[in-house]
Amino acid sequence: MHMKLLIIEDDREASDYLEKAFAEAGHQAHLARDGETGYALAGDGDYDVLVVDRMLPKRDGLSVIAALRAKGIETPVLILSALGEVDDRVTGLRAGGDDYLTKPYAFSELLARVEVLGRRKGRGDVETVYRIGDLELDRLSHSVRRAGQEIVLQPREFRLLEYLMRHAGQVVTRTMLLENVWDYHFDPQTNVIDVHISRLRSKIEKGYDKPVLHTVRGAGYMLKAG
Amino acid sequence: MTARLPAIFKTTATRLSALYLLLFALCAMILVFYTTSLSVRMLTGQLQETISDEVPILGRAYQRGGVPLLVRFVEQRSRQPGANLYLLADPQGRILAGNVEALQPGVLDIEGWSDTPFLYSRFAAAEAEAETANEGHRAVAFVMRLPNQMILLVGRDLGEAERLRFVMRRALILALGFMGLGALIIWYVVGRRALRRIDRVSDAGRRIMAGDLTGRLPISGAGDEFDRLSENLNSMLGRIASLNEGLKQVSDNIAHDLKTPLTRMRNRAEAALAGDKRSGEYRKVLEATITEADQLIRTFNAILMISRLEAGYSAEQTGSIDLTAIIADVVDLYEPLAEENGVAFVADAAANASVTGNRELIGQALSNVVDNAIKYSQGHGENPTVRVALRRVADAWRIDVEDSGPGIAEADRARATERFVRLEDSRSQPGSGLGLSLAKAIMGFHGGGLELSGRDPGLCVSMTFPDRKAD
């Protein structure tokens, strides 16, 4: 899955690194060093995701996003910021951002989030049944089957699996899970998510020869067939 | 002291003293002038009455016996001690009889009351007690023209009134002098005293600024405004010192706790570079490095968050939040971890508790506390248990997180919530040592508190939320 990204970031070293890292991950990234250029490029180009730093020369990130949204450009935006308070996140999302990441961040986290954002475009949440290999999740009847066998899950496990299946084939980080399944944005001291995952894994993989829930080292998890 | 003088003139005390002195002097002067003029007028009135009584008598004498009788009357009355002034003159103004030797010219030309006091002198012989007979005296008089055009003057010496005026003026000058002197003394004593105390405070301030943060402003014990000021400044200094101490401690801890993993990272990278390794080994080293770096980032974020919360200027959004729901979330989040670690996890949060706060922050605080509780209960005792209970205490909601771990010795409890403090027995446990301090900072931000108390066995962490809606 190849994506075209626009990175609006004034820190030369950081943006050059991002460009290279995204290229290695198979994506094409364009750079803009200030808000004005970023706004112009984002308005013209057909980007899959915008990565916008909050503090930019000429025009700050939030106003760029707000202006783009006002123009009817709905490209998903991930905001990068050195400001990490809960409020900053809320303000950022309210300005039209779709996701928010605080510096310093791990590139794997950024990549995972950008890929999720890029895939979201054009793919609605309209499906009622998710299928990955022989694993099947019905959102309406709240039931999960593997190879036709019913698997009983706790409500939270169901939501965890639902999120993983919606983003099947993509890396999903622990913080993304905490944010989307539990709706908290803090950083737990112990990796509680891992325990939830291993519980879920034992339910959906035990007795079946093929693993579906994979651990991506240094990044998170990925649900995929085979 | 001469060097002090310019300073003392610039003080508020000096300005106030001068102003008061001026005001009081003005008042005293007005008072004295008013009383003097009133007394003098009254005295003059009395004199005029005496004269008015005399004039008809002399007039009658003239009607009865003509000039000779009048002359006799005048001569006779003139000789009495303390007599009025009498003078009989011919139409040309030549003195015929009486006890007046000379008169200011023009006095006899105006009939009736002389408007202004005039100068006169008395016959020395007639005035036995007068030592200063030849000097000019001042008097008021009534002048009348007799039918035969002769002029009769009856007057009274103004000596008494003059003396009164003199005495009053002297009193005024004396009073003003004393007042000025008093003001000067008070101003000097008060002003200098105030100045000295302020100087002491400034000196202490300078010393403290020079770096001696343990220095405190002197307190005289008089309990006056200077003491109050000094006390407040001292408590401010205490707060600054404790913040400073905290800062110092944090930098020490950062130096220690962050340097260790950084050194480890560096050494690992160095070791990886040395010698030929297979790519799989490099991979392992790099992965370990990333893990370590992530932990460092996490630690930094926690430090930043604590500082922001403690500084109190954080504008985190607050609203009405449901503590019961947060407890349910955290329990849900940690239940598998507890189970995996063989710790029973019990929650008792039936009450419907709503407080004002930030859901994210409270969730984080509670999860840190629960995380700790599970970590320390694990493998400790027969039935390791962590119990989360929501309780109503007076005007507050309290979440108690009780564990069955080794607990914390009473002496160490206060330190346990300090930044980076990992009590010796827990050094081996993973964690940044910031969990409880972050939780405490979050509780502080919500106007609540976090207290540790002992259980047997174990520890109870109580998070208290003041119920702001009750206000």
Whether the predicted pLDDT of B463 surpasses 80: yes
CB contact under 8 A, B332 and A182: yes
Closest CA to A113 of A104, A126, A101, A124: A101
Q: Write down the pLDDT at residue B7.
A: 64
Q: Write down the pLDDT at residue B5.
A: 56
Whether the predicted pLDDT of B249 surpasses 80: no
What mean pLDDT comes out for the span B145-172?
81
Q: Write down the pLDDT at residue B471.
A: 40
Contact A220/A214 with Cβ under 8 angstroms? no
Tokens representing B405? 């771990």
* Nearest chain A alpha carbon to B333: A192
pLDDT per position as a tens digit, B125-149: 444 444 444 456 777 788 888 888 8
**C-alpha to C-alpha distance for B109 and B121, rounded to whole angstroms:** 18
**C-alpha to C-alpha distance for A71 and A69, rounded to whole angstroms:** 5
* Nearest chain B alpha carbon to A88: B316
Task: Considering only residues B62 and B366, tell me which one the structure prediction assigns the higher pLDDT.
Answer: B366
Q: Which of A88, A101, A186 to mutate to test the interface with B (most CBs of B within 10 A)?
A: A186
Residue A102 per-residue DSSP state: E
Query: What are the chain B neighbours of A220 within 8 Å (beta carbons)?
Result: none
**Which phi and psi (to 5°) does residue B317 adopt?**
-75, 135
**C-alpha to C-alpha distance for B47 and B112, rounded to whole angstroms:** 15
Query: What are the chain A neighbours of B297 within 8 Å (beta carbons)?
Result: 104-106
> CA of B107: how far to CAs of A148, B141, B425, in Å?
145, 9, 119
Confidence of residue B431 (pLDDT cuts 50, 70, 90): low
pLDDT per position as a tens digit, B394-421: 888 888 888 887 777 777 777 666 655 5
The gap between the terminal CA atoms of chain B, to the nearest Å, is 58
Of A86, A189, A196, the CB nearest to B358: A86
Task: Considering only residues B269 and B6, tell me which one the structure prediction assigns the higher pLDDT.
Answer: B269
pLDDT per position as a tens digit, B27-79: 888 888 888 888 888 888 888 888 888 888 888 888 888 888 888 888 888 77
Interface of A with B in 167-196 (CB under 8 A): 178, 182, 184-190, 192, 195-196
A103 in reach of chain B (CB within 8 A) = no
Average pLDDT, chain A: 85
Closest CA to B370 of B332, B411, B316, B420: B332
A155 in reach of chain B (CB within 8 A) = no
In sequence order, which ranges of A25-82 are alpha helices (DSSP H)?
Answer: 35-44, 61-70
Contact A221/A215 with Cβ under 8 angstroms? yes
DSSP 3-state assignment of B348?
strand
Contact A78/A50 with Cβ under 8 angstroms? yes
Give the minimum alpha-carbon distance from B442 to chain A in angstroms, rounded to a whole number. 12
DSSP 3-state assignment of B377?
helix
A57 in reach of chain B (CB within 8 A) = no
**C-alpha to C-alpha distance for A173 and A196, rounded to whole angstroms:** 13
The 10 Å CB-count burial string (b at 16+, else e) for B452-471 is beeeeebbbbbbbbbbbeee
Instruction: List CB contacts of B310: < 8 A, sequence separation 6 or more.
Output: B441, B444
Neighbours of B61 (CB within 10 A): 19
CATH architecture of the region B12-163: 2-Layer Sandwich (3.30)
Whether the predicted pLDDT of A179 surpasses 70: yes
CB contact under 8 A, A182 and B340: no
Contact A49/A78 with Cβ under 8 angstroms? yes
Query: What are the chain A neighbours of B293 within 8 Å (beta carbons)?
Result: 106
Is the ipTM, as predicted for this complex, more than 0.90? no
Strands B459-466 and A4-8: unpaired
Tokens representing B207? 């010393």
CATH architecture of the region B319-466: 2-Layer Sandwich (3.30)
Q: Write down the pLDDT at residue A158.
A: 92
Q: Which of B294, B299, B426 to mutate to test the interface with A (most CBs of A within 10 A)?
A: B294
Q: Write down the pLDDT at residue A86.
A: 64
* Nearest chain B alpha carbon to A87: B316
Question: What pTM, to 2 d.p., does this model score?
Answer: 0.63
Instruction: List CB contacts of B465: < 8 A, sequence separation 6 or more.
Output: B323, B353, B355, B357, B396, B397, B398, B399, B443, B446, B448
Q: Which of B282, B285, B290, B376 to mutate to test the interface with A (most CBs of A within 10 A)?
A: B290
**C-alpha to C-alpha distance for B431 and A191, rounded to whole angstroms:** 11
CB contact under 8 A, B360 and A104: no
Query: What are the chain A neighbours of B334 within 8 Å (beta carbons)?
Result: 192
Q: Write down the pLDDT at residue B123.
A: 67
Q: Is A55 exposed, middle or buried (0-12, 13-18, 19+ CB in 10 A)?
A: middle
Tokens representing B229? 């000021």
Give the minimum alpha-carbon distance from B5 to chain A in angstroms, rounded to a whole number. 56
B342 in reach of chain A (CB within 8 A) = no
